[in-house]
Chains A and B, each alone.
Chain A
Amino acid sequence: MNLIERRIADNRAAFSDEEESLFGVTIEPMGSPVLGRCQGREVILAGTNNYLGLTYHPELMQAAEAALHDHGTGTTGSRMANGTLPHHVALEDALKKFYDAPSALAFTTGFQANLGVIAGLCDRDGVLLLDADCHASIYDGAALSGATVYRFRHNDVADLERKLKRLQDQAGNVLVIVEGIYSMLGDTAPLAEICDVVQSYGVALMVDEAHSFGVLGATGRGLAQECGVEDQVDVVVGTFSKSAACVGGFCVSRKHDFSLLRRDMRAFVFSASLPPSVVATATAALGVMAAEPERRKNLWHNAERLYGALANMGLEVGPEISPIVAVTLNDPEGAVTAWHGLLDKGVYVNLVVPPAAPDGKSLLRCSLSAAHTDEHVNQMIDAYRSIVA
C-alpha cells in the first residue's frame, strides 16, 4: 500500500457508514435563506450561519448578476498580479467605511485571511497566545508562521494574564488572538477585560469576528464595537461567508498602512482573488447591513426565544444567549438519534460529534437567522420538545 492507499484504509476503518452517510447529506436550496430540502423532505434550515438571511436579498443578487454579466466569471489571478479589479478596491473602501478604519484587505476566504494575517505578522521570533477554543484556521495560521504557540484556557482572563506575565520580556513579539463569538457554543469573549490585560502588558491583539460580524455592535461591526474597545484591537479578521451571505475573508485595522503587510501574507499573494460577482455581493451586503439594522434586531429576538425555550426544557445550552444555540449531549449515538428526530420534525441543525466537540460530548448546534419567522422558531421549539419527550 502506498501512502494514499494506507490513508484511505485508515479512514475507512475509523468512520462508520453512518458517519460517512451524514457527511454526504445535501441540502437543496428552495428560494429562501431558511428553507431547504434535506433527505427528501422540506426543512427549516437552522444550522447555516446565515445570520442576517441575506442569501436571496434582491440587492445582493442584482449586484452579483450585474458584476457577472459585465465583468465575467473570474479574475484568473492573485491580488498581487492581475487579480485586483476596481471591484476589490471598492470592497476594501466599503470595509474601511463600515469599520471607520484606515486599512482593509479582502482575502479569498476567511480561512485564508487567518493564515495570511497570522503568518504575515509572526515569524520564528513571534509568540502567539491563542484562546484554547480558537478556530482551526487560527491554529493552522499559527503553525504556519513558525512562531512559538501557547494557548490560554478558553475565556479565562486570569490564565491569559498569568501567561503574559511570563512572556513579559518578549512583549514586543507577542500577538494574542481571540474570537468575537465562538462558533460551537456561541459564547462571547470577555473582550473588555482581555483588552485591559493586553494593554497593560503592551502586546498586540487580534480578534476574529467571523460569527460576530453583522451580529453584534451598534452597526454590526462585531464584539469589539459591542464592548466599546475598537481602539484597543489592533486587527480584526472576518468572513463574508456567514452574515454577508457569500464567501471571502477580510482584515481591518486602525493602524495606518496596515495593508503594506500584505506582501508578507502568502495566502493573499499566492491565491486567486475573489470573482467580481462575489466581491460585488459582499460590497452590497455591507450596504444592506448598514441600511437594515432591524435584521440584527430580529436575529436577537429569535435567539432569545429559542435559547429561553430550550433552557426551560432542561436542555444543556451554552453559557449565554446567542444566535448560536448549541445543546450539549453526552453520548454521540444519542446525538445522532436526536439529530434524525429533529430532521423528521422538519428542522435541520448541525450535528457535531467527537473529536470536533470537546470532552467526548456531542452538540446539536442551531444557528438562527434574521429570516426565521416566529412560526419557524415555534416549529424548532416543538421539534426539540419532541426529542426531549
Chain B
Amino acid sequence: MSELAVLERDTILRFVGEIAPDVKASSKDDIQDTIGLSSIQVLELIEMIEDEFDILFPLNDLADIRTVDELAAAVKKLRDV
C-alpha cells in the first residue's frame, strides 16, 4: 500500500523539508533516528498533515510508525475512510 501513497509521501517530504531544511530526507528514512526530527517536531509535522489533508491523526498511531513511507501509508488510510 505504501507505494500508492505517492501524494501523501511527497507532501510529507515537503513538510519535513520545511521543518528541517538542512536534511536531505528520503521516504525510507526513519523520521526521528535518521532525519533527526525531535518528538516535538514530529507533532508539528502531524499538525501540518492534519491541516493539509483535513484529517484527524491519532497520536496512538505514531508508536508503530518509523519512516516517511509508513507515515504516508497511515495518512492515506485515514483519508480513505
Contacts and interface: CB of A to CB of B under 8 A. Distances in A.
A149 B60 contact: yes
B56 A166 contact: yes
Contacts of B40: 355, 358-359
Interface of A is mostly: mixed
B58 A149 contact: yes
Interface of B is mostly: helix
B23 to A, nearest CB: 14
B59 A151 contact: yes
B60 A148 contact: yes
Contacts of A132: 43, 47
Interface string B50-62: 0000001111100
Contacts of A148: 58, 60
A153 interface: yes
Most buried by A among B38, B39, B59: B59
Contacts of A163: 56
Given A354-B38, A355-B38, A150 B56 contact: yes
Contacts, number: 25
Contacts of B59: 142, 149-151
Nearest to A163: B56
Interface string B22-63: 000000000000000011100100010000000011111000
A383 interface: no
Contacts of A166: 56
Contacts of A149: 58-60
A151 to B, nearest CB: 7
B12 to A, nearest CB: 18
A151 B43 contact: yes
A93 B79 CA distance: 50
Interface string A112-154: 0000000000000000000010000000001100001111010
Contact of A355 (B39, B56, B57, B58): B39
Contacts of B57: 150
A354 B59 CA distance: 21
Nearest to B46: A151
Contacts of B58: 148-150
A217 to B, nearest CB: 31
A302 to B, nearest CB: 31
A166 B59 CA distance: 16
Interface of A: 132, 142-143, 148-151, 153, 163, 166-167, 354-355, 358-359
10 contacts: A148-B58, A149-B59, A149-B60, A150-B57, A151-B59, A153-B47, A166-B56, A355-B38, A355-B39, A359-B40
Given A150-B58, A151-B43, A354-B38, 5 more contacts: A149-B60, A150-B59, A355-B39, A355-B40, A358-B40
